[in-house]
Amino acid sequence: MPEAALDVAAPAPPEQAARIAALNARYRHHSATAVLDGALRDPQAGRLTLVSSFGAESVVLLHLVSVIDPATPVLFIDTQMLFTETLEYQQDLSERLGLRDVRIIRASDAAMAAEDPDGTLNQRDTDACCDLRKTRPLQKALSGFDGWITGRKRFQSGSRAALDFFEADGPGRIKVNPLAHWAPEDVRAYMEENRLPRHPMVARGYPSIGCAPCTSPVAPGEDPRAGRWRGQNKEECGIHIVDGRVVRGPIA
């Protein structure tokens, strides 16, 4: 593993670790709906926001939130390099589901001008581009929350194989993964049963959708995330923490 692959984050303080352990014990045998409903109401979870990419499978969690509490804050990171289809899908889906508090998050104009004035940073350093356009804007937006809800699932990649419902997101904040135990067939069944609209690019061979320059179609039989940063030893964008470390690049 390259030395710069991961940035070490401070370990979760004992009080935070105990809180997370208690939450996982409390909701261990609950369904995704019960975990999400409980987390949004449980004082021990604190004030939460849903972070959504409005990608291929995002509609499941967005629909669950719209049923449980449509006023839940939803953070959408517009990297300004997304597919046009994603931007249109975000607008259409937010309106259709009746989400009342969708917040569009972007890097500041000053940061963009200083670090990527010609929009080619992704060609030279994908980790730096993700950090500029996603990680730092998200961290700033999360400053007013005690935790955030994600749509991550164990089956999506090796680094997520042991994913719990609740985990640390650096010292002081938690991350909630209600769909952690869902399999691909659970996702498909939920979409079909609730007649939820799919991202238009899924039918064109994009089962995992990120920024346009760094996302390619996936061939039949390939891992669903094979089209993300294809040809690079990279599977996360840097907004997640695995085993107490902020993921910036490849994971052993």
Segment 178-221, tens digit of pLDDT: 999 998 899 999 999 999 999 999 999 998 899 999 999 998 88
Cα dihedral 46, 12, 132, 123 sign: negative
**Residue 236 has what pLDDT?**
52
H or E element in which residue 139 lies: helix 136-141
- The closest alpha carbon to 27, from 40, 38, 43, 14, belongs to 38
Segment 68-111, tens digit of pLDDT: 999 999 999 999 999 999 999 999 999 999 999 999 999 999 99
Give the mean model confidence (pLDDT) for residues 123-132: 92
Query: Higher confidence at residue 59 or residue 153?
Result: 59
Segment 167-178, tens digit of pLDDT: 998 888 999 999
Give the C-alpha separation, 99 to 93, whole Å: 9
**Residue 137 has what pLDDT?**
95
Segment 104-113, tens digit of pLDDT: 999 999 999 9
Q: What is the mean pLDDT of the chain?
A: 86
- Amino acid identity for residue 45 in this structure: A
Give the C-alpha separation, 176 to 36, whole Å: 8
Give the mean model confidence (pLDDT) for residues 140-169: 82
Tokens of 79: 């990297």
**Active site annotation includes 214:** no
- Distance of alpha carbon 176 from its chain centroid, rounded? 10
pLDDT reading at 252 higher than 50: no
Enumerate domains of the chain plus CATH numbers: 3-247 (3.40.50.620)
* Percent of all residues in the chain with a pLDDT value above 70, rounded to a whole number: 84
**Residue 232 has what pLDDT?**
67
Of the residues 130, 211, 214, 237, which is catalytic?
Answer: 237
pTM of the model: 0.84
Count the Cβ atoms, other than its own, within 10 Å of residue 90. Answer: 24
